[in-house]
Structures are given as structure tokens and as C-alpha cells.
Chains A and B, each alone.
Chain A
Amino acid sequence: MMKSYMFNFLSGLITVVIIFSILLFGARFAMGNSTNLGNTTEALVVGFFLWSWLLGGMNTLTWGITTEAEQGTLEQLYMSPYGFKLVSLAMLGISFLSNLLFTIPLLLIIMLISGKFLHIDVLTVGFILFFTILPAYGLGYVFGGLALLYKRIQSLFQILNMGVVAFFLLPPGVLDIIPFTGGYHLLSMSMRGNLGLLQLPLPKVIILMVSSILVFLSGMWIYSLIERRVKFLGILGHY
């Protein structure tokens, strides 16, 4: 079994690295020898690293729920005395660990390709990452719920997968209340500016934590509402 997962892991990693390389060399070609090239490369490394995490976060529940429904095991997960919420949180925990295994080598490879070795304070990066990814899991709940209700949401979800990058392009300031935007800016400050957690602006860190938890809990709550509707319609295990 590990062999088939290893193939999946390696092919996924190679694909993502190729996409990064195209973006990087495309940007270099477009900008020539611009003085901003160094900053752009650093931003690209941080953005790409965060984007790969967010994709993992959003995909876990959305595709997880869809796949479980398709193979007929979703109802089995619901028939746990711990409740589906706890089962799904366990799924997220496992997904977090497997994302870690994917994104650490990815970060090393893309830093190697770009030639930009950014500062990685494990505690700071881990802390900011956690609160930036948490809302992605919340969105995963929402889209997982929509997948239960409407079954086919791939188009909408793919747009979101790409569209999430737009949040990184928003300027810092008021829009930092959006956890993806605030998280990206804090992560950039830490990785590019060599700042530890205590050196980051405290209000921005608190805003990130609060908004992140709010989005995550809202996602779970919306999922509960959709789940009630799905059980009322009797389509929980449908695919």
C-alpha cells in the first residue's frame, strides 16, 4: 500500500515543483533584470509554500467527504459513537501531518530552485501557518457540506483553489482581518524579514488568531446546518 501512496506522493511533488518552476522562470523572463526581482522571488516562494498548505487544508474535507460518499463509507463514519465532528477533526489532524510531509521537502526544493534561502523559525512559521490554514479547514467543511448537498461542485471548488492566491495580493492593513491575507503578510515578515514570533506586530497576530478561529467555527457551523438538511432529504450516502 505504501508503494502506491509513495508514487502518488512523488508524482504530486514533482507536478507542484514543475508548476513553481514555470511561475518562477516566467516571472524572471517577464521582469528581466529588474531590481524588484529578488523581492518577487521571495514573495513567490512564501506564497507558493502557503498556497500548497491551503490547498491541502481545503481539499481534505471537500474531497474526503466526496470520496467517502462515493465509496459508500461516509455513512459508516457517521455511525461512530464519537460523532462525525470528532471523526472529521481526526481526519484533519492526519491531513495536517501528511501536508507537513509534503510541504517541507517542497519548501526546500523551491528554495533550492529559486536560490532564495528564507529564514525559517520553526515555532513562528508553525504558529502562523496553523492559524492561516485553520480557516482553510473551515472552508473545507463548507465545501464538503455543499458536496453532500449538490454532489458536483468541482468547478466552483477549482475556482476557489486558484482564487485563494488573490488574497495574498491584497495590501496589508484593514484587509488583514481576512486570515489568508493577514497570515500571508505575517509569514512573509517572518520568513523574509527574519523575525521571530515576539517581533511580529502583536495586534496583527491577535487579529489573525481571532479571525482564523471564527472562520473555522463558522465553517463547522455551516456544515452542521447543511448536514441537517442532507439528513432530512435522505441523501447522506448518495453520490
Chain B
Amino acid sequence: MRVVEVENLRKVFGDTVAVDGISFGVGRGEIVALLGPNGAGKTTTIKSILNLIVPDSGRIVVAGRDVRPGDYWLYDFISGVLEGNRNIYWRLTVEQNIRFFAGLNGRKISKREIDGILERFGLGEKRKTEARNLSRGMQQKLAIASVLARKTPILILDEPTLGLDVDTTYQLMEIVRSLREDMGRTIIVSSHNMRFVENTADRVIFINRGKIVAEGSVEQLKRMFSYETYMFRASGGNISPQGIFPDGKVERVGDEWRIYVSLNQSEIYDAVDALRSNGFLLKEIRLQEPDLESIYMRVMKEERSDETASGNGNA
């Protein structure tokens, strides 16, 4: 059953088309990630779902009901953290923030429930600390914990890992997964962090220039693109391999080159010829399991070439 449906959503700001006919649905207990470059339309989509932006056209359905401008019944079902750590009261303590946000949804939260939330987020020792004295990572966690206290079945997280270190990102990844697995929450997340998305999302929606350009589970996307990604291990060479494969990813490991490049099968021979003719000694060619980042780069590259071909390359 779909708990959020977005149909033909369109929003224009001045001359800029922010969202151009986006449609997708989110099932109960699903984690869906919106991925795309800055200005792709992710935040506009998210804020439209949250009824914080009035779209020009299209339909938003939450929990089976149409959302109209000015409606606020939907906040019994959906809540969101926007712009990470800016969603909390800096002069309130961790516990006071959680109580306040629960109160916004009319909930008098029990001490036991607060304890549970603080434990889940690793904030137990900080319950009496003012939010302004927490690290950025802890503030980010507190923002999500506070929204969790509202107890809505659907959560929207806009850029939850923005500015976080690797360790905190990993902790947040675990938390987001546990929100679905232990608490059955439905989560829509937008992020630039591919590892975070790859490890949390059931389904990924690539958005570019206000349109959905690819959609599927991480596994589906990997299958869709797996035949194209190769890793060449080579040494020597008269020039940098980047000169031969401008769109590829090139790494220097000791005296060897590792070249990751998306090719179709007929292009492999041309690639091998190009490497040999430039003095490279080829040691290995391996079909590479792509990660989400390489899929993302590929999709966006195709988008750019489509725009160039149709003469619509201007931003």
C-alpha cells in the first residue's frame, strides 16, 4: 500500500522550472532516496510533500488523502527534518527539545520513551546538555530524534548527513535502518551521500532538472548498468590515462594505474588498443560491480549528453 503518492508535480520559480512533472509513490515501510545534483528539485519535491511549498500543479496524496494548500491534518502522518541541524532549539537541552517537538503533535512523551529515543541515538549522556553545546553530528541526531518524538509513521529527511564525518554518517545509517526495521517507519530521504543511500534505501530515484531520470532498487540499478563498468589495471604509458578516458575514474596505486570506465562491449577493444598504443602494459581487465556513485555519474553523464544533443545544454 502506498502511503505517499506524488502525481505530475510541477513547480516553477520565476524562469526556473524546479520540478517538472514528477510522479512516484512510496510504500508503507519503504525507504526511498531522492538523488540528484544541487538544484535538481529534490528539496522542492520534499517541501511540496510536506505542504510547505504550494505546487503549481499536480497531486500529493498522504495516507490516502489529497493534500490541499493550508491543510495540516497530514502532520499526524508525516514529519520531516529539513537542512539538518537547523531544526532544533539551540538554547533548549536535548530532553527539552524532544519534549517540545512531541508537544507540537499533542504528545505528552513519557520519560521511558525519551530514554528509548536517547539510547537509540546515543544521546543518553547529553540529555541535560543545551543543543548549542553539542557537536554538529549530535545536533543532527537530535534533530532526527526530536522529529521521531512526534511519532508520525512517515519521516522525511532532507540531507541528513550534510557536514557529518564518516563515523557519524555510519551511525546515522544504522539509525535510519533501525527506524524502518524496528519501528516500521516509512522514510523518504534526500542525500548526496551515495554510501548512505546505497546502505539504507530500498529504492532510489534520480532527479535531474526537475525530472525523474532513473528509478529502481539499488540492485536493479546495478543490474541495469553492470555490463558497462570495467576496471583496467595497467602500468607504464606515455600519457595519463585520464587523457584517454576523460569520463573515467583514474587512480594511481604504486607504479600501476587503475582505470574505472563505463563502456559497451564493442568499445572494450578500442579501449585496449588506445592503452597499448600509448605505451601501457595491460595487466588485468575486470568487469566491475558498480557502486551507486558510478551509476549516478553514468546517469548524469547520459543526461548531459542528451541535453547537448537536443541543444538544451544551458542551465
Contact = CB atoms under 8 A, between A and B. Distances in A.
A71 B86 contact: yes
A114 B306 CA distance: 79
A234 B53 contact: yes
B13 A80 contact: no
Interface stretch (B76-84, B174-182, B208-216, B253-261): B76-84
Given A1-B130, A228-B70, A237-B82, A76 B52 contact: no
Contacts of B91: 1, 4
A83 B104 CA distance: 10
A73 B105 CA distance: 15
- Interface majority SS on A: helix, strand, loop or mixed? helix
B229 to A, nearest CB: 38
Given A1-B130, A75-B52, A80 B104 contact: yes
Interface string A198-239: 000000000000000000000000000000100111101100
Interface residues of A, number: 23
A73 B13 contact: no
Interface string B133-149: 00000000000000100
B69 A82 contact: no
B54 A72 contact: no
Contact of B104 (A1, A79, A233): A79
B269 interface: no
Contacts of A83: 72
A237 B52 contact: yes
Contacts of A80: 72, 75, 104-105
B90 interface: yes
Given A228-B70, A237-B52, A79 B75 contact: yes
Contacts of B101: 76
A104 B150 CA distance: 37
B87 A76 contact: yes
A63 interface: no
Contacts of A236: 47, 52-53
B82 A72 contact: yes
Interface in B152-196: none
B72 A76 contact: no
Contacts of A237: 52, 82-83
Given A4-B91, A71-B90, A76-B87, A81 B72 contact: yes
A157 interface: no
B88 interface: yes
13 contacts: A1-B93, A4-B91, A75-B80, A75-B87, A79-B150, A81-B106, A84-B72, A234-B13, A234-B44, A234-B47, A236-B47, A237-B52, A237-B83
Interface of B: 11, 13, 18, 44, 47, 50-54, 69-70, 72-76, 78-80, 82-83, 86-93, 101, 104-106, 130, 147, 150
Q: Which 10 A-B pairs have the closest CB atoms?
A: A72-B86, A83-B72, A80-B104, A81-B75, A234-B53, A81-B76, A231-B54, A232-B54, A79-B75, A236-B52
